[in-house]
Amino acid sequence: MRALRATGNRRLLDGNEWNGPEMMGLSVIMMGPPGAGKGTQATRFARERGLLKISTGDILRDAVKEMNPIALAARTKMDRGELVDDATMVEIVRHRLAQPDARCGFVLDGFPRTVFQARALDVIMEDGGNGPLVIIDVTVPEDELVRRLASRRICSNCGTGADPFGSSTTCKTCAGKLVARTDDNQVVVLERLKIYQRATRPVLDYYRMRPTFRIVNGAQAPEVVARELDSMIEEASKASIA
Ligand code: AMP
């Protein structure tokens, strides 16, 4: 979708030890219900491995700020916690993945959310140039998700998620004001969890039998989740080429 601004940062490797197949690229899908912490883990993993992170929610929110007509049309659905239509979402991702900085792989956060989108992603990736596709399901019990979402804050200026355990009222990146997301009020949260069960859980079944599908317990401390996730991704990416 040319009209939507492409977002996502590609950063240099930070020097951490990584024994995965760097040269041939690596692509990761971070799955999980809203509030599971997949955005936090996706951002961290992408930064540490020098991969492009693509969050479809961030792309839509940025496009709304820029008054993009397609995003403005999607806004009502976003505010209600409903899914934006598949055709729009697939076009956004197809366009973003066609750019040169996605060539060595990426970390996807928030996509695919339906089986239709998962199938479309397989077609987009058919040439195999983005390296092995590792799928991670971050699981957290529902009552914990509701608790987390009720206290979640993001920066009103740059959209960065705030430290869920912190008490600051300003963003650590740009000092913008921290606010609740418009789709994090309780009615909308329950709707988003319901939609997750109905539309997105079947995506896990679509991927479950692949040798690169892994499940991480997201109810642990973020640094424990990070450690487990890193070794899972490394091991799964090797399994795919063994
Ligand atoms: P997120 O930040 O990933 O929770 O996304 C925020 C909102 O953007 C969602 O509640 C949806 O309305 C919309 N959205 C983001 N990604 C998708 C997707 N892959 N399919 C449909 N809607 C999406």
**Can you give the pLDDT at residue 16?**
44
89 in Cβ contact with 111 (< 8 Å): yes
- Does residue 71 fall inside a structural domain? yes
Is 50 exceeded by the pLDDT of residue 1? Answer: no
Instruction: List the CATH number of the domain containing 113.
Output: 3.40.50.300
**Can you give the pLDDT at residue 119?**
97
Q: Which of 54, 31, 10, 24 is nearest to 213 (CA)?
A: 31
**Can you give the pLDDT at residue 241?**
62
- Does residue 3 fall inside a structural domain? no
- Does residue 56 fall inside a structural domain? yes
More confident residue, 85 or 158: 85
**Can you give the pLDDT at residue 153?**
83
- Does residue 147 fall inside a structural domain? no
Is 90 exceeded by the pLDDT of residue 48? Answer: yes
- Does residue 72 fall inside a structural domain? yes
Q: What is the mean pLDDT of residues 132-137?
A: 95
Strand partners, 215: 137
Domain containing residue 99 = 25-140+185-241
Residues designated catalytic: 38, 113, 152, 181, 192
Which pTM does this prediction carry?
A: 0.82
Give the tens place of pLDDT for each residue, 152-181.
Answer: 888 888 888 887 667 788 998 899 999 887
What's the longest Cα–Cα distance across the chain?
A: 48
- Does residue 65 fall inside a structural domain? yes
Q: What's the chain's length in residues?
A: 242
Residue 37 CA, ligand 1 centroid: distance in Å: 15
In ligand 1, the atom with minimum distance to the C-alpha of 117 is 19
Average model confidence (pLDDT) across the chain = 86
